[in-house]
Homo-oligomer: A and B are copies of this chain.
Amino acid sequence: MLKVGLLGAGRIAGVHATAITSHPGSSLVAVSDINTAAAQKIAAQYGAEVRDTDNILQDRTIDAVLIATSTDTHSDLIERATAAGKAVLCEKPVDLSLARARACQEAVASTGCPVMIGFNRRFDPNFSALKKAVHAGEIGKPELLSITSFDPAPPPVSYIKVSGGLFRDMMIHDFDMANFIMGTAPATVTAVGSSIVDPEIGGVGDVDTAVVTLSYSDGRIAVIKNSRRAVYGYDQRVELLGSDGLLQAQNMLENTVVKSTTQGVTGAKPTYFFLERYMPAYAAEWAAFVEAVDGAKPLPVTLDDGVAALAMAEAATLSVRTGAPVSIASLIG
């Protein structure tokens, strides 16, 4: 039985607490948060204790920590937790700074502790079925990947000021999805973006609509489309053209009811946002972490994966300013 400490008690921490307690191989022992009331609420609901972070990290009976705190604390906590010998599952991104993330990567390497980054979409049943089909050669050799990823509504500008911008807080999921499907990082990143949804987002130097093209050294190409606003719901699609066919993972819908009237044939919208769409993915993600910590399987998403996605976000941020392609090697050699 894996004994787990939960660092952070916000909304996503609650999702993880459910996953941890529902899993037959793990139990939630303690939770910490600077917001004590939030920590107490989760502790009460799931039968855990409220403690401070130091106490959790120093408790030798705790095997693993799940880091669901604010982004600026991630790399510090990863380093402290691994120094204390814990297995770690940390929410993405590793850090807003690529340099800081790479330092974290080095620090962790010396500990030998498993660190998994929470790219939950890899565990979505649709995307994992697509990946499995690619791996099985069902469409031959992959050639052209296309990822559509639209949020239902833009976040407040106050969030964008601290989030690292669209490429680091939103498209980073899609960069990791590209790496997951293509099995390798691209050679260059070319980005085009604008703030057409909300000019205030442009006012703070970010974009809300972007198209990023990834070029691979073997000639494959990927393209990612992001928008901060799709009023019809969370639009999360992947399609991959290969030498023998096309694979598409389409949206999950709220229900299967279709209505035909004089106005047309109308079905349900996509599920509203990530909690609705990816709830099964969070449980599968946790199960994969437990399995990896138990040694049954390798870690499915590593700290290296977190750094790779962050490098692509940094490359896109540079490219959207200059218009020129940015080489990944120029950033992480």
Contact = CB atoms under 8 A, between A and B. Distances in A.
A54 interface: no
A221 to B, nearest CB: 5
Nearest to A224: B223
Copies of this protein, total: 4
Nearest to A195: B219
Interface stretch (A115-123, A265-273, A284-292): A265-273
A125 B259 contact: no
Given A144-B209, A246-B232, A139 B261 contact: yes
A241 B235 CA distance: 11
Interface string A201-216: 0000000011101010
A41 interface: no
26 contacts: A126-B255, A133-B257, A143-B209, A144-B211, A190-B190, A192-B221, A194-B215, A194-B220, A196-B220, A196-B221, A230-B245, A232-B264, A232-B265, A235-B246, A235-B260, A244-B262, A245-B259, A247-B259, A247-B260, A250-B258, A251-B256, A262-B269, A263-B266, A264-B267, A264-B269, A265-B266
B260 A245 contact: yes
A131 to B, nearest CB: 10
A229 interface: yes
B223 A211 contact: yes
B211 A213 contact: yes
A43 B221 CA distance: 47
B262 A245 contact: yes
A252 interface: yes
Interface residues of A, number: 70
A255 B223 contact: no
B255 A125 contact: yes
A216 to B, nearest CB: 8
A259 B133 contact: yes
Contacts of A250: 256-258
A235 B241 CA distance: 11
A256 B252 contact: yes
A304 interface: no
A328 interface: no
